[in-house]
């Protein structure tokens, strides 16, 4: 990567940003009529960290002249509210209809003065160094903190000649273009890995990943315990060992009409037949003694890591855990509400969950927890979750519906082979994913290094 350097003869000045740009200038409303069509740019139309802006939404001036921020082609939009500012929602406005735009009131508008290039300003204020400094000067309540105009006015920007600014911008964007190509390639690899993982899980729970126990038994001239026999044995044992309150309630068998045919020796069961299905709880937050212990308290955001989830963002004391139920290690955790419904994890340690998570604690003599997790995370398992969630604005899969979902159960020895082969293949996927993620972080660090070098204001 070539360095972005100032030309030796260039004189750099460090000036207040307010000398380089006009901050939130007033609109020239004399040139606009109520029927003038202008671009409308909400916060969602500006990309995070990439300078992209969508100006395709068009509205008449009459609809936007009150309650929105005005800008024009060449202005720099700077998101002032958290977390948009920290995420780098900034862009140079361009391609505006009639050269005019209106948008979110959460934008500061920076209009370059004569002799100042808008792309140069954008690259400076969008850099991590400037955003970090801006974050430290935010004011307001938590969740509604904003960068004040006073910070922008007092902050400083290194300012060479216009010619040098444009040379620097050209070099930055050349380097960024190369990095963007590399990032796009890495993202394609991630997408391919995701598809491969899904295909492995699909093959595993359809009996196509390893030799079936039925085929093994025929080849070796022996008999075997089928999935149906295994399930019945476990159900009989659970019934005979029942020590709960009241009469034992037999878990319902699955409704198999419409389900695909299973391999020889497999059987359809329900989550309820395989173990205990529970929903989490919310400890009273007014009592801080409920928190700060050693028991992970899982929420949907903690399931990002997928299998073998151990860490959480919150931990309960034993007093807090007593408000609900402690799940044993190897419980399958499934988000049961909202846009992230179906997000799945396998707990590697005892834990508790909030009420947005359904959990299955399996009778391990029936199915391996890892196998039950792989089914739940597979395309077929995910489709069952989505298809059976309530059809509302906020999809919900309550405990009873989750408990009744079907699970294909292979013979016990076949489960072991399936889990071992899935683990082998996915361990390779995880290694590649880790390398890809490391390279993506490296690319982001290189972007910031390019900007730091560009605005160093030195020829050395």
pLDDT at 457: 66
pLDDT at 2: 46
pLDDT at 286: 62
133 token code pair: 């400094």
pLDDT at 289: 75
* pTM greater than 0.75: yes
Residue 29: alpha-carbon gap to chain centroid? 42
Weakly modelled stretches of the chain, pLDDT under 70: 1-10, 286-287, 305-307, 457-460
Which of 3.40.50.300, 3.90.220.20, 3.40.50.970, 3.30.930.10 is the CATH number of 236-241+250-410?
A: 3.90.220.20
pLDDT at 1: 44
pLDDT at 305: 61
pLDDT at 459: 36
Nearest to 84 by CA among 23, 22, 139, 143: 143
- pLDDT 10s digits, 405-439: 999 999 999 999 999 999 999 999 999 999 999 99
Q: Is the dihedral of CA 111, 116, 117, 121 positive or negative?
A: negative
Output the CA–CA distances (angstroms, integers) from residue 351 to 29, 235, 322, in the order listed.
Answer: 60, 26, 12
Region for 398 from its dihedrals, namely left if φ exceeds 0, alpha if ψ lies in -120 to 50, beta otherwise: beta
CATH fold of 13-160 reads Adenine-n6-DNA-methyltransferase TaqI; Chain A, domain 2 (3.90.220)
CB 311 within 8 A of CB 296: yes
Region for 26 from its dihedrals, namely left if φ exceeds 0, alpha if ψ lies in -120 to 50, beta otherwise: beta
pLDDT at 10: 59
Residue intervals in the chain for CATH 3.90.220.20: 13-160, 236-241+250-410
pLDDT at 313: 85
């Amino acid at each position: 990567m070539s360095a972005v350097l100032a030309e030796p003869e260039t004189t750099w000045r460090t000036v207040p940003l307010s000398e380089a740009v006009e901050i939130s200038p007033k609109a020239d409303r004399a040139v606009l009529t109520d029927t003038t069509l202008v671009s409308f740019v909400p916060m969602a139309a500006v990309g995070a960290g990439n300078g992209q802006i969508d100006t395709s939404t068009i509205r008449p001036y009459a609809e936007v002249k009150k309650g929105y921020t005005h800008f024009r082609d060449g202005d720099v939009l700077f998101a002032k509210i958290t977390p948009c500012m920290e995420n780098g929602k900034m862009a140079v406005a361009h391609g505006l209809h009639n050269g005019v735009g209106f948008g979110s009131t959460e934008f500061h508008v920076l209009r370059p003065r004569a002799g100042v290039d808008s792309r140069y300003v954008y690259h400076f204020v969008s850099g991590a160094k400037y955003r970090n400094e801006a974050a430290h000067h935010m004011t307001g309540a938590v969740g509604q903190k904003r960068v004040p105009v006073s910070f922008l006015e007092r902050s400083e920007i290194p300012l060479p000649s216009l010619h040098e600014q444009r040379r620097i911008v050209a070099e930055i964007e050349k380097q960024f273009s190369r990095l963007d190509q590399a990032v796009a390639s890495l993202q394609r690899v991630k997408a391919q890995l995701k598809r491969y993982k899904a295909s492995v899980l699909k093959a595993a729970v359809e009996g196509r990943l390893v030799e079936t126990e039925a085929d093994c038994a025929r080849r070796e001239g022996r008999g075997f315990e089928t999935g149906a026999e295994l399930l019945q044995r476990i159900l009989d044992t659970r019934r005979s060992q029942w020590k709960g309150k009241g009469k034992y309630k037999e878990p319902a068998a699955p409704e198999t009409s419409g389900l695909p045919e299973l391999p020889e020796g497999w059987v359809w069961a329900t989550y309820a037949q395989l173990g205990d299905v529970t929903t989490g709880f919310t400890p009273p937050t007014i009592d801080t003694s409920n928190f700060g212990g050693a028991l992970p308290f899982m929420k949907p955001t903690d399931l990002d890591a997928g299998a073998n989830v151990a860490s959480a963002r919150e931990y309960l004391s034993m007093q807090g855990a007593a408000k609900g139920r402690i799940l044993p290690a190897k419980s399958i955790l499934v988000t049961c509400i909202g846009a992230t419904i179906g997000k799945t994890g396998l707990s590697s340690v005892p834990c508790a969950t909030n009420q947005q998570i359904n959990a299955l604690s399996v009778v391990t003599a029936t199915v391996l927890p890892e196998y039950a997790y792989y089914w739940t995370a597979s395309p077929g398992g995910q489709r069952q979750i989505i298809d059976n969630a309530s059809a509302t604005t906020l999809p919900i899969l309550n405990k009873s519906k989750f408990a009744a979902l079907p699970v294909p159960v292979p013979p016990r020895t076949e489960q072991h082979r399936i889990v071992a082969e899935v683990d082998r293949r996915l361990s390779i996927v995880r290694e590649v994913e880790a390398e890809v993620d490391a390279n993506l972080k490296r690319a982001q660090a290189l972007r910031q290094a390019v900007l730091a070098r560009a605005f160093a204001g030195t020829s050395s």
